[in-house]
Amino acid sequence: MNSIIETRDLSISFGGHTVVDSVSLSVPTNHFKSIIGPNGAGKTTFFNLLSGQLLPTKGEIFLKGENITNLSPVKRTRKGIGRSFQITNVFPNLTVLENVRLAVQSQAGIRYQMMIHFRKYKELELEAEEWLRTVLLESKKDTLAKNLAHGEKRKLEIAMLLALNTEVLLLDEPTAGMSLEDVPAILEVIKRIKEKGDRTILLIEHKMDMILDLSDSVMVLYNGALLADGTPEEIMKNEIVQSAYLGGHFDGTSSSASD
């Protein structure tokens, strides 16, 4: 199976401290890979390297065989990498529909023009509404984004990434900060995206038990290095992973942290 995203000896250091240490990874097209590891393992920093927020100290990143190591985040998005953050990133004073329509408009290369025919914008809105249905937000389309619940804002952010036609979704702890009641809804959205079979998903999540059924494979980072990579079953049975992750207490319920 062809890989869509690949890293080779990817590393980054800050002040002599190596945060991501020679991580080599190959992710097949339309694959769902979860990334886990103890607090401070380098997970979010690894995502920052993939999305271009940080440039590596050494190593390379490839997207569909093209070296994108030195491309800006904007250029990576245009080439198909979409990134969500632990803190939601939406336009608070626009409606839910307007947020997604702007993403559709951006993907279509259409800037706002006063004289453009209203039917053209209607087409954009219809596409935006389709993305809102995908993330179970169609009933909130006229709500201002700032008035959404936290879990709903996460759904909106995912809809915006989908509207950009990103082929690779980098989801950084999509359930962070959510109440337990909101978690099933966001997991249902992610499940729906996976079942469509046309996106590659890399997901950081501390609560391993929640994403076991969704994951095709799981990689474990420990002190910035790739400790293990395999099926969920292989990872759960891996004694080295159990020893490193919470000192042998590997139940997927570690507390949340920024990395």
The answer on 75 and 1 residing in a single domain is yes
Same domain? For 117 and 131 the reply is: yes
Residue 86 has pLDDT above 70, yes or no: no
145 and 247 fall within a common domain: no
Q: What is the pLDDT of residue 119?
A: 57
pLDDT reported for residue 123: 85
Sheet with 225-230, edge to edge strand ranges: 81-83, 168-172, 200-204, 32-36, 217-222, 225-230
Which carries the bigger pLDDT value, residue 85 or residue 174?
174
Average pLDDT along the chain: 88
Rounded average pLDDT over 54-81: 96
Last residue of a domain, which of 148, 165, 182?
A: 165
Do both 45 and 91 map to the same domain? no
> Is the predicted pLDDT of residue 252 greater than 60, yes or no?
no
| Mean pLDDT of the 12-40 span | 94
pLDDT of res. 202: 97
Instruction: Give the mean model confidence (pLDDT) for residues 158-180.
Output: 91
What is the rounded average pLDDT of the residues 40-56? 96
What local confidence, expressed as pLDDT, does residue 87 receive? 61
CATH assignment of the domain containing 211: 3.40.50.300
pLDDT at 220: 92
The verdict on 25 and 6 lying in the same domain is: yes
When pLDDT is averaged across residues 3-22 and rounded to a whole number, the result is 96
Domain range for 107 is: 87-165
Any alpha helices (H) in the chain, and if so which ranges? 43-51, 73-79, 96-108, 118-134, 150-163, 183-196, 208-211, 232-237, 239-244
Q: How sure is the predictor about 1, in pLDDT bands with cuts at 50, 70 and 90? A: low
Is residue 28 exposed (0-12), middle (13-18) or buried (19+ Cβ within 10 Å)? middle
- 76 and 177, same domain (yes or no): yes
Split into its structural domains, the chain has a count of: 2
Q: Which residue has the tokens 């201002």?
A: 144
247 or 191, which is more confident = 191
The whole-number average pLDDT for the span 116-128 is 75
207 and 94 within one domain? no
Q: Same domain for 134 and 188?
A: no
Residue 6 tokens, joined: 């690949």
Whether residue 239 is found in the same domain as residue 113:
no
Shared domain check, 7 and 75: yes
Considering the entire predicted model, what is its pTM?
Answer: 0.88
Tokens representing 140? 């909130």
Residues 34, 55: one domain?
A: yes
Structure tokens belonging to residue 90: 């939406």
Name the residue with higher pLDDT: 40 or 52. 52
* Residue 95 DSSP one-character state: B
Q: In this structure, are residues 193 and 82 in contact, taking their beta carbons and an 8 Å threshold?
A: no
Confidence at residue 29, expressed as pLDDT on a 0 to 100 scale: 96
CA dist 13 and 224 (Å) reads 10
pLDDT surpassing 70 at residue 225: yes
CB 172 within 8 A of CB 81: no
pLDDT at 111 over 90: no
* Residues 76 and 106 both lie in one domain: no
What's the pLDDT score for residue 176?
Answer: 86
Q: With pLDDT > 70 as the criterion, what percentage of the chain qualifies? A: 88
Distances from the Cα of 85 to the Cαs of 89, 170, 175, 190, 216, in angstroms? 7, 9, 11, 15, 22
